[in-house]
Structure 1
Amino acid sequence: EEFPDEVMQQVEKISDDVTDREREGRLDLRGLQTVTIDGEDAKDLDDAISISKENGVYTLGVHIADVSHYVTENSALDEEALKRGTSVYLVDRVIPMLPHKLSNGICSLNQGEDRLALSCIMEIDEAGNVTGHRIAETLINVDRRMTYTAVNAVVTDRDEAVMEEYR
């Protein structure tokens, strides 16, 4: 389904890449090992995770694409997204909530691309207790795009070849 001209005009003004100005004031988490986990055919990668361990404390990051940075409240784009409600996934195609330039581009946490995110960063002790957290506007860069199949092969099957691929 096509988007109205007014929406597409608004979308065309949005940069394909994160600008220096957009980076300002954001917590830079590009140094963290960050992955997305989605279906093999997914194009709109809207969440990612990172985890590290130091001195017995895990730091878990849950990162969500900061779509609100690009979709101004009450704009034509916002109204159209509100009307659509969600992306609809059919067998042979997707009817997107947002134009592809956003959903598959700047608002998708694509591997190797700087992206704006909203992140919850949690400290977790070795017993699994969350001992602290913070929520921040961040800048991330996904290191690996993983699939549910690959993660299952690692976690459930302990598949050595797949584990080596993602080391």
Structure 2
Amino acid sequence: MAKPKTDPNYKVIAENRRARYDYAIEDDLECGIMLTGSEVKSLRENSANVAESYAAVENGELWLVNSYIAPYERAMFPHEERRRRKLLVSRKELARLWNDTQRKGMTLVPLVMYFNHKGVAKLKIGIAKGKKNVDKRETEAKRDWNRQKERLLKERG
């Protein structure tokens, strides 16, 4: 059986692994990011972090707040590391995001930052609701049970 072809341009830059533990993700959305040249070059070197960041709808625009992109060392004019970056979505999607955050009390959490198959930087954001400690324990218990189940199935063959 042949190996599936992987796209050489698709590359995950940063992943927010904690988001799925802390939040119940109801839906996700892919959006573009407005970046400077030195930020793109820095992202190509995998020097970014979205774990402590969030997205917010302000004045009819979607912004990524508190994300970290390391300064590119060979740039003449380096960028700010934690500046607010504009996210690019359609008006229809923006209206839906605003509705979810304002009326339903949801949060916009960045899940993954990556280069797509065309080599363009994208961000996948999740529309999420915060989990309580009870929910987190349930998630952990389910994960443990699934691990034990897999282990038992392997042993019995």
Specify if TM > 0.5: no
Normalised by the size of structure 2, how large is the TM-score?
0.23
Tell which structure's C-alpha radius of gyration is larger: 2
Alignment TM-score, normalising by the size of structure 1? 0.22
Please identify which structure carries the higher helix content. 2
